[in-house]
Structure 1
C-alpha cells in the first residue's frame, strides 16, 4: 500500500512539474508577444502623430491660399 501511495504521489509531482514547465514557457511567450505589441503600438502612435501634423500643415496651407484669393 505504501508503494502505491508513493508511486501515485510521484506521478502527481511529475504532472505538476510538466504543467509548471508548460506554464513557464507559455508565460515567456506571452511576455515576448506583449513586448512586441507594445513596440508596435508605439510605432503606430508615432506614425499617427506624424500624419496628423502633416494634415494640419496642409490644412493651414490651404487656408492661407484661400485667404490670398
Structure 2
C-alpha cells in the first residue's frame, strides 16, 4: 500500500472515531433528557390527579349543599 493511501485511510478512520464519539455523547445527553422528561411527566400526571380529586370533592360538597 502506498503511503498516501495509508494516510487517507488513517484520516478517514480518525474522522469515524470522532463521529462515533460525538454520537455517543449526543446519545447520552438524549437519554438524560428523556429521563428528565419522564420524571416531569410522572410529576404532572400526579398533580393532575390531585387536582381532579379536589375538583370532584368540591362538586360533591356543592351537590350536598344544594340538596339541603
- Structure 2, gaps ≥5 residues long: none
Instruction: Tell me which stretches of 4 or more aligned residues in structure 1 moved more than 2 Å.
Output: none
TM-score, reference length from structure 2: 0.98
1:42 aligned to 2:34?
no
Aligned counterparts of 1:51 and 1:2: Cα–Cα separation in 2: 73
Aligned counterparts of 2:59 and 2:35: Cα–Cα separation in 1: 36
- Structure 1, gaps ≥5 residues long: none
Aligned counterparts of 1:67 and 1:18: Cα–Cα separation in 2: 73
Q: For residues 15-63 of structure 1, what are the alpha-carbon distances to aligned partners after superposition, in whole Å with 9 as ceiling and x for unaligned?
A: 0000000000000000000000000000000000000000000000000
Matched residue count: 68
